[in-house]
Amino acid sequence: MKLHAKVSVFFAVLSACLVAALVTIGLYSFRNYTVATATEQIRTAGEIVRVALTESMINGVIAQRAGLLERLMEVQGLRSARVIRGPLVEHQFGKGMSREQPADDIETQVLAKGQPAFEITEDEAGAGFRGTIPFVATNKGSPNCLQCHQVPEGSVLGAVTITMSIEQLKRKAILTVALMVMAVGMFSLIAYLLFRRMVHPVVRTAVHVEDAVQRAINGDYKGSVNVQTSDEIGQIAGDMNRLLTYLDQGLSRIGHKVAQLTDHSPNGEGSGNLLKTTIEMVDTLTEAAHFKQAIEEDETQAEIYGRLSVAIEQHFGIKEYSIYEVLAARNQMMPMVVDGDHKGPCRWCDPQILIRNEACRARRTGHLVDAIASPGICYAFRPPNEATDRAHLCFPIMQSGSVGSVLQMIVPPTDRERVSALIPHISVYLREAAPVLEAKRLMETLRESTLRDALTGLHNRRFLEESVETLVAQALRHGTHMAILMADLDYFKMVNDEHGHDAGDAVLKALGKVLAQSVRSSDYVIRYGGEEFLIVLQETTGALAVPVAEKIRMRVEEMKVQVAGKVLQKTISLGIADFPGDSDTFWQTVKFADVALYHAKETGRNRVIRFGMELWNDKKGY
């Protein structure tokens, strides 16, 4: 209810209560006054009748008492009067005149109790007041009752009933009360108008404050309150204006700072509630800072991508998405997480982007690709047949000025507005993740460089030493075998001696490529030292490794290396041992493979030898 309505209702209720109280008190007072006045008048008239009847009896003119009562009615206001004889008088003097009998119920009670009775009556003539006064015998006064009546003192001789009109008094009372009600009503009206005039500035100020507050709740702090008076209400209005100005200027400054931090202006046109948007962005900055602190303590890029996928699903409510890592050196892209599946297959894009990353628009331009605002903007987007209504957002994650990763978010039609509003928040998370991802990538690259041979690009002996425990534990846990192949180029020293070390390096590079292409991606090819290579075939027994080794031997035999206008061809010798078939110790198995290699060298080179214990015995503990 508005303040104006409350004031009106208050004064209406107050006035009604005052009028009701005034009418009640006035009518009650006038009634009591009328009853008291009429009672005294009737008592006086009754006493006159008693004295007159007593004298009439003494003077012997009691028979003329009817005329006395009639003359009494000439008194203004009196309506009727009659005398009723009591039982003792009737016994002494008879029943008297017919108009004096019979007694009604009230008169009978008065004659019996000797107490007067009064009541207000209402008839055709209007309001009246009736009083019945008993005549009690007494020997006091002169003359006294006992001179004529032979009754005991205190006996009730009779009663006189007098009725008088109080209609005029009633009308005067009603008129007086009406005038009082009118006076109270006029006073209430004047008081209401004066009070409303005094309250009007308060009401107007309250309305303006309410309007300004509602606008502020909706993000508009440019409202103002009109100053109506110079008193405390005016001071409140002025303070409210200063507060709104301070909030508007302060939030604008905060908004500009947030814009600098997020590359998104929260107080731009159409952005809605400035305070709400700014709070949301500040919350996002805080959460992103915590996210960055968490991923800085992760060990690998894969862990960071996993934590980013959790944030995408739980914090932003996106269930369909892809995270790609850009392999710039090979012009490729690798799916890291697809719809929550780590290392999952490419689902939402043309697989062409995996082998030619330039096909990815976000990778190529380094800008956000917003298919919600611009449907069909990216030709590489290929959703499954059951999800052709999806749109997508592709965020490039910049690292050292180039795109290092791409986050693709898939958006159903019902969620497009919400996700569009999340773009600046998601960008903050990705901006915080970018330098950490870059640092982890550099660290992994650096570590990878220490575990790879610089000439051939194959893993080196240090990699084997760091990985051997994992390889052994995996084989033992799954109950599988590992075939260890030791390979060595035949007469490699002659290449360096006759053609120089550059030619030797070319031969080793070519050999490393042939070896890597001859085994599975899950197998390991390691440059063990010089022209000697170690190959680990996982989940492969020594017997199954023989054909693989033969394939390698034949490919090396067919290998041709162009060196300074000449074509070089070399052969290779290989020794095979089985872990844990030949030994339950990995390094002992490596030694067994080396023994088999040595035997291949001794027996003519360019051949494959499977280790047997007889070779170990022949070498006498080689």
96-134 pLDDT tens trace? 666 666 778 888 888 888 899 988 888 877 888 888 888
| Average pLDDT value over all residues in the chain | 84
Which tokens is 245 given? 């100005």
Highest mean pLDDT among 155-164, 451-460, 527-536: 527-536
Q: What integer is the mean pLDDT of 487-515?
A: 90
With bands split at pLDDT 50, 70 and 90, how would you rate the model's confidence at 622? very low
Highest mean pLDDT among 43-57, 220-234, 289-303: 289-303
Judge whether 599 and 605 are in contact, CB under 8 Å.
Answer: no
| Residue 409 φ/ψ, nearest 5 degrees | -115, 130
Out of 66-75, 557-566, 590-599, which region has the weakest mean confidence (pLDDT)?
Answer: 66-75
Judge whether 362 and 430 are in contact, CB under 8 Å.
Answer: no
Q: What integer is the mean pLDDT of 361-379?
A: 93
Number of Cβ atoms within 10 Å of the Cβ of 50: 20
| Residue 131 φ/ψ, nearest 5 degrees | -135, 135
Q: What integer is the mean pLDDT of 441-463?
A: 81
Judge whether 487 and 524 are in contact, CB under 8 Å.
Answer: no
Reported as a single tens digit per residue, the pLDDT across 529-551 is: 889 999 999 999 999 999 999 99
Q: Is the predicted pLDDT of residue 524 greater than 90, yes or no?
A: yes
Q: What is the pLDDT of residue 267?
A: 46
Q: What integer is the mean pLDDT of 171-184?
A: 84
Judge whether 526 and 460 are in contact, CB under 8 Å.
Answer: yes
Q: What is the pLDDT of residue 382?
A: 92
Judge whether 600 and 607 are in contact, CB under 8 Å.
Answer: yes
Q: What integer is the mean pLDDT of 371-393?
A: 93
In 3D space, the residue among 284, 327, 366 whose CA is nearest the CA of residue 292 turns out to be: 284
With bands split at pLDDT 50, 70 and 90, how would you rate the model's confidence at 266? low
With bands split at pLDDT 50, 70 and 90, how would you rate the model's confidence at 259? low
**263 vs 84, more confident:** 84
Out of 286-290, 323-327, 376-380, 504-508, which region has the weakest mean confidence (pLDDT)?
Answer: 286-290
Q: What integer is the mean pLDDT of 257-269?
A: 59
Q: What is the pLDDT of residue 407?
A: 95
Percentage above 90 pLDDT, the chain: 35
Tally the residues of the chain. 622
Q: What is the pLDDT of residue 489?
A: 93
For 292, 346, 352, 353, 371, the CA distances from 335, given in Å and listed in that order, are 22, 6, 12, 10, 20
Sign of CA dihedral 378, 384, 388, 393: negative
Q: What is the pLDDT of residue 272?
A: 57
CA–CA separation, 186 and 180 (whole Å): 10
CA–CA separation, 212 and 561 (whole Å): 85
Q: What is the pLDDT of residue 556?
A: 94
Judge whether 295 and 331 are in contact, CB under 8 Å.
Answer: no
With bands split at pLDDT 50, 70 and 90, how would you rate the model's confidence at 559? very high
Q: What is the pLDDT of residue 3?
A: 65
Q: Is the predicted pLDDT of residue 317 greater than 80, yes or no?
A: yes
Out of 329-343, 432-446, 491-505, which region has the weakest mean confidence (pLDDT)?
Answer: 432-446
Q: What is the pLDDT of residue 135?
A: 84
Q: Is the predicted pLDDT of residue 445 greater than 90, yes or no?
A: no
For 133, 312, 367, 408, the CA distances from 378, given in Å and listed in that order, are 118, 22, 12, 12
Q: Is the predicted pLDDT of residue 6 greater than 90, yes or no?
A: no
Percentage above 70 pLDDT, the chain: 90
Residue type, 545: A
Q: Is 578 left (phi over 0), alpha (psi -120 to 50) or beta?
A: beta
Q: Is the predicted pLDDT of residue 319 greater than 90, yes or no?
A: yes
Contacts of 181 (CB under 8 A, 6+ apart): 19, 22, 23
Q: Is the predicted pLDDT of residue 421 greater than 90, yes or no?
A: no
Which tokens is 468 given? 């051997």
Q: What integer is the mean pLDDT of 350-360?
A: 92
Q: Is the predicted pLDDT of residue 296 greater than 50, yes or no?
A: yes
Q: Is the predicted pLDDT of residue 621 greater than 60, yes or no?
A: no
